[in-house]
Chains A and B, each alone.
With several copies, the nearest count.
Chain A
Amino acid sequence: MNAIQAKGISKSYRERKVLKEIDLEVEEGDIFAIIGPSGAGKTTLLRILCSLQPPDSGTVAILGRQISFKATEDLQLRRRMSFISQKPIAFRNSVRENVAYSLKVRGVEDRKEMVDNALQHVGLLDLADNLGMTLSGGELQRMAFARATVYNPEVLILDEFTAHLDPYNIKMLEDALISYQKENGATILTVTHNMFQAKRIARTTAVMLDGQIVEQNDTATIFNNPTDERTGQFVKGEMIF
């Protein structure tokens, strides 16, 4: 079964088609990367998959269930997935309370240990009592990671989750992500503009250009033998990195 199954997703803003009839299938247990240039529509696609906004047309099924794009109806499904936004935000609370939020919402009682554990994994235990709003850009991304994984979602959707991090911390989060996937058998869908990251962590990679997925394959194949001409051009951009 596919953990994520999107069919014919289209979205326009005014006259401009930002997503053009996108079909996407992510197998259960896969780590799936979407790469593509700025403005390709990656974030828009992820937001639709998470039921944060409805598409103009098309359907999405997560873990085999159709989503309705109505917050209340999708509650059960939403509780089995998580999303780290490209611009994560912190509630006006301590870092610890921010991470505890997702547990509290699910009625989990013994939160302390789980939260501390999650913070430990992203190197933020020292800052647990600081206000979430005072975190630096990279710290905020790490907190968002802890907050999104602490409740063991089955589907994890990430939008440039290491954009503000340095190599040391990137490695920490990537390792955490890979071991999270192993332990939970979760499905991971990540958008990244960093093609090295896709190479390092993804089993499958899709290339998105101008609202379309132009190619999708094993990560190695995508990078070594791109079949689509436009993919080739875009992947060449890697060279400057």
Chain B
Amino acid sequence: MESDLLNVTLLSIFVSGTATLLASLLAIPLGCFFGMRKFRGKEVIRTITYTLYGFPPVVAGLVLYILLSNSGPLGSLQLLFTPTAMILAQTLLVVPIVIGLTMSAVSTTSKDYTETAIILGADSWRTARTVIHEARVGIISAVMIGFGRALAEVGAVMLVGGNIQWHTRVLTTAIVLETREGNFGYGLALGAILLTIGMIFFYLMKRYQDKGMLT
């Protein structure tokens, strides 16, 4: 049982961590781009992003299940009921959150920073880095919220992961299982582990948030 618990905990961290990382790599640049530029269709993108905040994990899971199922278009990849599928599902859920929050962090960061960077000769890339630097408190919050969402999420990973012991069981699906079996106490204990992971992650990110890192 103990090695099982360790396994489940590590898989939770791995899946949600990887999903948050992937989502951040994709969403932070996009969010900066959307936040910094004015272009037609920007409002549409904002609308979609915000709407997707309310994307129910179960539905995300269903969509992904249909895609990854052996009778679905991506069935040949054989990803269903693997951690990879779970990572994909959580990435899907975290991306809009990180895009949206990065967008608002960047667009409320005073335009003056962008202009100063441009005037001092920064190219687009460096300008973006500078704006990210100035908006970093907001962006890091975005990543934290994204990780929280990934870690707490259960509907999608249950569907595409299958909650298979030793393979795809994570803390949240284990909590569901324990609750179903009436082991409320054990369920709560797993919940406490989950919150502890969140807290450690938060603590690390906060240290990062407080010190400067790029320019």
Direct contact of A and B (CB under 8 A): yes
What class of interface size applies to chain A in its complex with B?
20 to 34
Q: A71-B124, A104-B215 are in contact. Are A89 and B110 (CB under 8 A)?
A: yes
A147 lies within 8 A of chain B by Cβ:
yes
Q: Known: A75-B123, A78-B121. Is A89-B116 also a contact (CB below 8 A)?
A: yes
Contact B123 A72 (CB under 8 A): yes
Tell me whether A82 and B119 are in contact (CB under 8 A). Answer: yes
On whether the beta carbons of B212 and A93 are closer than 8 Å, the reply is yes
Contact for B113 among A79, A91, A105, CB less than 8 A: A91
Q: Which residues of B contact A105 (CB under 8 A)?
A: 117, 120-123, 126
Q: Is B133 a contact of A92 with CB atoms below 8 Å? A: yes
Q: Is the pair A91, B121 in contact by a Cβ cutoff of 8 Å?
A: no
Let me know if B115 and A91 touch, CB within 8 A.
no
Docked Cα-Cα span, A38 to B59, in Å, equals 58
B164 proximal to A (CB < 8 A): no
In this assembly, does A2 line the interface, its C-beta being within 8 Å of a C-beta of chain B? no
B130 CB-CB contact with A under 8 Å: yes
Q: How far is the CB of B137 from chain A (nearest CB, A)?
A: 10
Which of A50, A83, A89, A93 is close to B112, meaning CB atoms less than 8 Å apart?
A89
Contacts of A148 in B (CB 8 A): 120
Q: Which interface class (under 10, 10 to 19, 20 to 34, 35 or more) fits B? A: 20 to 34
Most buried by A among B110, B118, B121, B212: B121
| Cross-chain contact B112 with A91 (CB below 8 angstroms) | no
Contact with B along A54-92 (1 / 0, CB 8 A): 000000000000000001100100110011010111011
Query: A10–B87 Cα gap in the complex (Å)?
Result: 53
Closest 3 CB pairs of A and B: A102-B120, A79-B121, A89-B112
State whether the Cβ of B134 lies closer than 8 Å to any Cβ in chain A.
yes
A92 touches B126 (CB 8 A): no
Residues on B with C-beta less than 8 A from A50 are 119
Residues of chain A lying within 8 A (CB to CB) of residue B212: 92-93
**Assuming A50-B119, A91-B116, what are 10 further A-B pairs, CB within 8 angstroms?**
A71-B124, A85-B112, A85-B115, A85-B116, A88-B116, A89-B110, A93-B215, A97-B215, A105-B117, A105-B122
